[in-house]
Structure 1
């Protein structure tokens, strides 16, 4: 009997991509996901010949060995992603739609694959993934009004907010549970209006953002800034939204956000300047457990002793020497 596996990033892009696919083709699949930074998900899959695996919004490069293992076992893999992939394997059982352009995301790739069947979910994901201008362009093409645009933006940002944390306990909902709560809505505007999970996320988001918006940078210039967050669950939940908001507010500035992971190390979020959305992935891949995409990337675990050199490396790469903010 054929087994089905849906493997997806726990952020807005991964969840909204899977919602689109399962609205078109409902499947009783095993869901494998986690917090946003939990991306080596294929190692959790044991599949046999003929099994079908859908992979969404996790780096092929970080899952290369397990992907090859599954292909060798005879599984069929459908892979959508926009993160650094490296060399894409050539295999009869692999269908890969990977685009590392900073102007797309996984949900937009799925939208194209499905011939725009559920574009509103793709737009919500693009907003959540900080592709604001791209999402707004799609809204204009669909003649959406200002209220609808705001709803899609808020929903995408809330789903994305839920994905951030060092471990599942930091999140309001397990990403698989959030997918189950939302996947039956053809229209994300209906999900925003009627889902109790969305209401809980909105309340949590408002409370958490009161903390994060009060934090000043520790270093800053017009083109580069560094923020150090405290060791708290609310900080781990808001780090991604905070980084995205900063990049929208200061589009000519690159941002480095450091956040303790509650386990003795730090997670790092990097946003390249919106006016030059390149280099984030290459920078983070210099470090163990680093990766991402051209405009936005991160490092899953950085030792405390490496922080000083990381900031110096950031300054050399993205800007002139930051000055300390008094």
Structure 2
């Protein structure tokens, strides 16, 4: 059987696969992409008996390809934390899918491995904006403030690097970043010894300077909405900036709309307290996510006013 590992190019996908392959090494063809490129199983070859592992990729967006692999005698291991309304049972499908708001894919892998590489799971949780969860785990690991901050910053950088319209927008292609991670059992060693870390940190700081004058397009006591230009720096920073703004005011919601080169917007939404970001985003084509963090791949310009009104009504109702 030909083996394939497919993973989201963000912090969660990278750290999930890195943990899994340190514990269960195998030779496999690797398929990944930018953070929003989640229907990656479309790249699988049309041949029988594939051995597929998919990590941090929405099951519903890939369900037809999962069926194709299974129907041709293949096996699929699926680990993810997004809602899976189309999930089904099959003897050769091993699915660990948990959409609970306090887990990410790397934490699901961490459970399976009994915490063997937990610092990578903590890194992923920080990158996926599960800040309280990651802090509790770091404290349980015995990490002080400095070590915890280093893991948090690494998670932020790995996640930040995945945002972009195409791989060309990114500082480092996710595949190259994963291959760099493979040389380090500990995230602290990666921080101290990897040139990729230095490049990501420098790129992040430069992009932050571009966003220093950013102000909300509209705001209320319940939240704010920002419009970013159709520029590479904005596409790289949009998700990380949404996370940072949400963390600054944990009682307010954030929507970040970034212009796409061909028109329309890439949407990132962060909510709190049971306000379903995923519920809002799934009202629009290409929208998905989870309760606290969701997005829309392509919001047409013609739907901008509708989305703005919908967003503020949604967070005001608190549902």
Measured against the shorter chain, the TM-score band is over 0.9
Query: 1:71 Cα shift?
Result: 1.2
Are the counterparts in 2 of residues 3 and 47 from structure 1 also a CA contact under 8 Å?
A: no
Query: 1:207 Cα shift?
Result: 0.6
> Which residue pairs with 2:305 in the alignment?
308
How many angstroms apart in 2 are the aligned matches of 1:45 and 1:19?
21
> Which residue pairs with 1:196 in the alignment?
195
> Which runs of structure 2 are paired with 1:208-287 in the superposition (5 Å)?
208-273=207-272, 276-287=273-284
Structure 2, unmatched stretches of 5+, are none
For 1:125-167, what per-residue CA distance to the aligned partner results, in whole angstroms no more than 9, with x for missing partners?
Answer: 0000000100000011111122211111111110001000011
Of 224-233 and 277-286, deviating more is 277-286
Are the counterparts in 1 of residues 120 and 186 from structure 2 also a CA contact under 8 Å?
A: yes
Are the counterparts in 1 of residues 277 and 291 from structure 2 also a CA contact under 8 Å?
A: yes
Aligned residues: 317
Are the counterparts in 2 of residues 4 and 28 from structure 1 also a CA contact under 8 Å?
A: yes
RMSD: 1.1
How many angstroms apart in 1 are the aligned matches of 2:45 and 2:274?
37
Query: 1:316 Cα shift?
Result: 1.2
Structure 1: 4+ residue segments shifted above 6 A: none
> Which runs of structure 2 are paired with 1:1-326 in the superposition (5 Å)?
2-46=1-45, 48-273=47-272, 276-319=273-316
Structure 1, unmatched stretches of 5+, are 321-326
Query: TM-score normalised to the size of structure 1?
Result: 0.95
Are the counterparts in 2 of residues 48 and 74 from structure 1 also a CA contact under 8 Å?
A: no
For 1:180-209, what per-residue CA distance to the aligned partner results, in whole angstroms no more than 9, with x for missing partners?
Answer: 011221101100111100100000000101
Of 50-59 and 5-14, deviating more is 50-59
Query: 1:49 Cα shift?
Result: 4.5
Query: 1:213 Cα shift?
Result: 3.1
Query: 1:87 Cα shift?
Result: 3.3
Query: 1:265 Cα shift?
Result: 2.1
How many angstroms apart in 2 are the aligned matches of 1:293 and 1:137?
21
Query: TM-score normalised to the size of structure 2?
Result: 0.97
Are the counterparts in 2 of residues 36 and 164 from structure 1 also a CA contact under 8 Å?
A: yes
Of 201-210 and 47-56, deviating more is 47-56
How many angstroms apart in 2 are the aligned matches of 1:62 and 1:47?
18
Query: 1:301 Cα shift?
Result: 0.5
Query: 1:277 Cα shift?
Result: 4.2
Are the counterparts in 1 of residues 32 and 174 from structure 2 also a CA contact under 8 Å?
A: yes
Of 10-19 and 81-90, deviating more is 81-90
Query: 1:179 Cα shift?
Result: 0.1
Are the counterparts in 2 of residues 222 and 252 from structure 1 also a CA contact under 8 Å?
A: no
